[in-house]
Every structure is written in C-alpha cells, then in structure tokens.
Amino acid sequence: MESEFNYKKYSLEKFRDWTCDVLDGDATAEEIYYTFKQSVCENIDYHQKYLKKNQELLNLLEGKTTYGTI
C-alpha cells in the first residue's frame, strides 16, 4: 500500500531547512525576527479577510442580515 503524503512533516522539514539556511546566512537576528513576525501578521490578515466574508455570508444565509437588491 502506498503511504499518504504527510504535508505536516514535509512542511516542518522545510521550515527546519529554511531555519538552518537563514541562521547560517548573512541575516541578522533582528532581520530574521522581523521577517518571521511579518509573515505571521500577513497570515493573520489573510485569514481575517476571508473569515469576515464567510461570516457575512453565514449571516445572510441565517437571515440575520439582508442584502441589497442584486
């Protein structure tokens, strides 16, 4: 039986590889910190955008709000 691809394991291995690469490179600790923090903030912003849209749709579907004439 063929084993399933383990995306979590793959991602964590790539993250470890990336971490070693950036730590062995010329980037300062501050640059690494701010870049990682920026990535986390961008991910939050991305998901909040779609969460808001889905919440609005759910409210429409449940009759909690109305939508203007289409």
pLDDT in tens, the chain (70 residues): 667 899 999 999 999 999 999 999 999 999 999 999 999 999 999 999 999 999 999 999 999 987 765 5
How many domains in the chain? 1
The pTM of this model reads 0.68
Cβ atoms of 32 and 22 within 8 Å: the answer is yes
Kindly state whether residue 7 falls inside one of the protein's structural domains: no
Q: What is the 3-state secondary structure (H, E, C) of the chain?
A: CCCCCCHHHHHHHHHHHHHHHHHHCCCCHHHHHHHHHHHHHHHHHHHHHHHHHHHHHHHHHCCCCCCCCC
Kindly state whether residue 43 falls inside one of the protein's structural domains: yes
Kindly state whether residue 70 falls inside one of the protein's structural domains: no
Kindly state whether residue 16 falls inside one of the protein's structural domains: no
Q: In which domain, by residue range, is 54 found?
A: 27-65
Q: 43 Cβ partners below 8 Å, 6+ apart?
A: none
Kindly state whether residue 4 falls inside one of the protein's structural domains: no
Kindly state whether residue 52 falls inside one of the protein's structural domains: yes
Kindly state whether residue 10 falls inside one of the protein's structural domains: no
